[in-house]
Structure 1
Amino acid sequence: MCDNCLMDGNLRLKDMIVRNIDGYMKQNRLMAYGLKLHVSVRTEKGTVIYPEIFTQTDVLQPNSVKTASENYDLANQGIVLAVEVILDHNTALSNAMLAFYILLFLGLLYPYYRSAIRKADAEEEQKNKEIERLSELGKAHAQRLEDLEFEKENLAAEFSRIKNILETEKRKASQSEDQLLEEIIALEKKMKDNLALQEEQTQEIEALKDQIGQHEKSRTQGKKDFNVAYKRFRNLYKNLIFHDRALSGFADLADEFKIKGEEIIYQLNENPELVPIKRKVFNKRGNQTVFEVVFAYRGRLYFRRMKDNKIEIVIIGSKNSQIKDLEFINHLE
């Protein structure tokens, strides 16, 4: 190809660009393995050079002067080349690249994976050992406390014995006296240490006693509330019978629930027909019918009619105690 063919007008610039790009794409071996190239060439003013929109065939002999002028104009406009590389899925080249990167990452990450597994196993083993150690330490401390109590008694007896010996033998020799004094001092130190440990245990025991006292106080208060409710209800509501389960349940209610619950009790005593009944509850044998009344949304009262047409209030509770209350009714005689 001549060097001045473009400027002489013997060759169109468009034809040369098309020929070179097509030739390159035919000779590129990667195209056979699934690589695709989308090439576009245009001037900065937007004139499309490649791909050819249509092929122009000159019937007349090309005018070299006109061709040279066109080539010059296109060159002065500035050539813009855009190349888009596309690699389709499931082609030889894409599969080879995917396999390469998979093997590369596996090779890099596998040592870290093995290291993490070993570290996790080591931490789990260390944790199990620490749990076992703490368990053994707790047992040892309990045994140590028992041994200290026994040792205290032995030390007290030994101290008394040594003291008596000292009183008897202190006149015999100063050397023996010094030795006995050292032994007594050592025993006194041991006793002080033992007393300190006992004091610590005594404080823990006192703390437990305080907790037990709080529970006893709470239980005593509940019994007191039960007795107060029994006396009040017996005097105020003479048309009703109160089961012990109802009295203890009423004593456990919060004050706002007690107010609403006693309103239902008052209605049952004065005019039971006006009390809204939510449902009937039957026991397991089917020979007892108990009526359920709801108060204060979460409160529950259960009553039944006796043979003498009196009303017995069986249970007063809440939604939280409903399962236990229904189980009690199920075995009601």
Structure 2
Amino acid sequence: MFHRWVTVVPVATKRGRGRKVLKDKTASTNEANIIAGKVSESSATPISPSSKQDSKQQSFEKELLQMKEMLQQMRLDKEKIEELLKAKDEALKQKDKELENRGREQEKLQVELKKLQKLKEFKPTMNLTVMIDNKTKKDKKKKAGDSEKKRPSPPYILWMKDQWNEVKPNYCLKYFYFLFSFVGLAMTVSAEEKKPYEEKYHAEKEAYLQVIAKEKRESETMRLFEEEQKQRTAMELLEQYMQFKQEAEKETKKNKKEKGPLKPKHPMSAYFLFTNDRRTTLLAENKNFLEVTACSKDHNRRVEKHDRGTEEALRRAKKNKEKYALEMEAYKQKKDEEAAHLMKEEEEHMNLQKQEALQLLKKEKTDK
């Protein structure tokens, strides 16, 4: 038997990348002491769960305090803001009141302005006679050269005038001396010499008195005429103003719509009567809005076919219309009576005003 020799060849295997084996080092005495102290400290003071809870509680309390402080600050801020808002509201209210007062004052001023404008529109149509005073008449006469009747001179003045023209040339140098002596002579004139001058004086005096009496009569008649004319113009002006006032009031009444509380209301038509009845029934059945609005179409259809419901609505509408006509006639009659009564009152008021105006004029005359 032959034995086979098997040679085992070692296969090359990869060396693993393992960590190198650390060599045991001999620690120094100091390092050993430090490590031993740390281990002893850690083993001596272990962290207990109660201390953790205390620390958490303390942090929670701090947070609570902070939150409370924040809330307090927020409350203070809120109060300040509310105070500011209140002050602003009060200021706004005051401004609103001022604006309302201004608006009322403006309305009052507008009303007064309208009244003044209406008074401006008042244009009286009358012929005013221009009266001239006696003084102005006299001045005009003097300027025009109208010779008025002069007051008559006494008899001795007339004698002096006659003698003056004869004696004057001889006594020019001794004028003042002559004048005094001449006046003395005039006073000692005899009755026979004075008689013609006295007759002349009396004649001139009578003529002068007649002229004065005539002027007085003329002035008195003119004064009475002027007063009469003033009275007439005042009455005409008052009548025209009252007429203008009435016309203005009528225009304002026409512009305003008549809203009498006693005025009868206009009756509803057959369509509205039918739709109202239909709407109540549909709403009682809890129908839809579209079904309620469809009532109008239904009404038109029923009118064509002369349904009972539409006929009843038409009959009711006719009755309401007749009733409205009667009520309206009675209302118009009542309004006419009221208008006639108002016109009567206005006429009486006008007559009273005229009487007052006449009394005032008479009073002015008596005062003068």
Query: TM-score, length-normalised on structure 2?
Result: 0.25
Q: Higher relative contact order at CA 8 Å, sep ≥6: structure 1 or structure 2?
A: 2
Q: Which has the higher helix share?
A: 2
Q: Which has the higher strand share?
A: 1
Query: TM-score, length-normalised on structure 1?
Result: 0.27
